[in-house]
Amino acid sequence: MDFAVPAAVSDALCKRLAHPVFGYTFRSDEFIQAILNWLADRFDWQVARSHLLFYPPGTVAAINCLVNLFSEVGDEVIVHTPAYPPLMNIVKQNQRVLVESPLVRNDRTYQIDFDQFEKCFTKRTKILILCSPHNPSGRVWRRDELEKIAGICRQNNVLVISDEVHADLTLPGIKHCHFNRLAEESRPPSVTLISSCKTFNLAALPQSTLICDSPALKKKIKWAINTAQLNLDNALSATASLAAYQSGHQWLDSLNAYLKRNRDYLEGFLKQHLPQIQLAKAQGTYLAWLDFRALNIEHQELARLLVEKAGVGLYDGLMFGPPGEGFFRINLACSMSLLSKAMKNIKAALNEKA
């Protein structure tokens, strides 16, 4: 995001930096309480303290750890595509087999193709990495969709790793449902990962919180965390996240309202000026997934045009797997004037081409 972090976060960091000792740090009780309060206040979800685990290097690092812990080389891991690229890379780089379950697009809305999804499972399937809310489409999965996923994974005894770093970024009126919130008896073993990094623009001060209620899973994860000495915390990440979770409610509400205005602006602009470009219907994230296919311009040529003619660096859809051909992802977490400039440049570049 382009936005400055909440003032309470900068203040807390300045105060921590003024204390000139940076010895080993552990996750404080105050932090644990702040997370529990956050989940209770914003999601009405009471989580037991004993279900929390912390992974200081961040969410992608945590997912990498979980994939290694709970599958073997050659095992299959399912990911819905288009997919946030690191989720696919983790599977491939660890020599697991990536099984793609392509989402289907109906009336600009992405949905899980449950018939295809069910057929993805074999005896070697060990894990589903779920992205919820979904990057890049911005879909916030409904509870009934999550329950269906849970039922299928439970039937196949497949662990669900649910990457929920976008959970706080929902359009006003939309409520995210955490996977581990589903009734325990209706879901497979699962780990939900949340983070303050996307929510409060703290990605370079990483940390991730894991929510897990299975004693067997927790035991293994704790072993991995302790073996790598990851029970030690990063003093600045911990300080920033604590301040954000304690004092960031209003800031986040304003952010979500601003993101909605930017999304509405983009939708209006496309309708009026570039009706061939279709914006995926989203309920969350600051990402907008744009379908350029109706323009009938070859993907690489389009990528070149956007950068060289429009001067706009969108995230290339092909990075998200084969269903990303003809798509580009735009980041809405910027000022509306910058977004407007980008869209006007894109319009001019496409008009020139036509």
Binding site for ligand PLP (CB under 6 A): 58-60, 84, 131, 135, 163, 165, 195, 197-198, 203, 206, 208
At its nearest, how many Å lie between ligand PLP and the CB of residue 140? Answer: 13
Nearer to ligand PLP, 80 or 96 (CB): 80
DSSP-derived pairing of the beta strands 159-163 and 190-194: parallel
At its nearest, how many Å lie between ligand PLP and the CB of residue 137? Answer: 11
Nearer to ligand PLP, 238 or 310 (CB): 238
| Two structure tokens written together for 135 | 């990057």
Report helix, strand and coil shares of the chain as percent, to nearest 5: 45, 20, 35
Q: What is the DSSP string of 46-113?
A: ---GGGEEEETT-HHHHHHHHHHHH--TT-EEEEEES--HHHHHHHHHTTPEEEEEE-EEETTEEE--
At its nearest, how many Å lie between ligand PLP and the CB of residue 136? Answer: 8
Nearer to ligand PLP, 269 or 289 (CB): 289
Nearer to ligand PLP, 58 or 189 (CB): 58
Residue 58 gets the label, from left (phi > 0), alpha (psi -120 to 50) or beta, of left
Nearer to ligand PLP, 152 or 169 (CB): 169
Angle of helix 215-227 relative to helix 59-70, nearest 10 degrees, comes to: 110
At its nearest, how many Å lie between ligand PLP and the CB of residue 62? Answer: 8
Question: What three-state secondary structure class fits 282?
Answer: coil
At its nearest, how many Å lie between ligand PLP and the CB of residue 271? Answer: 27
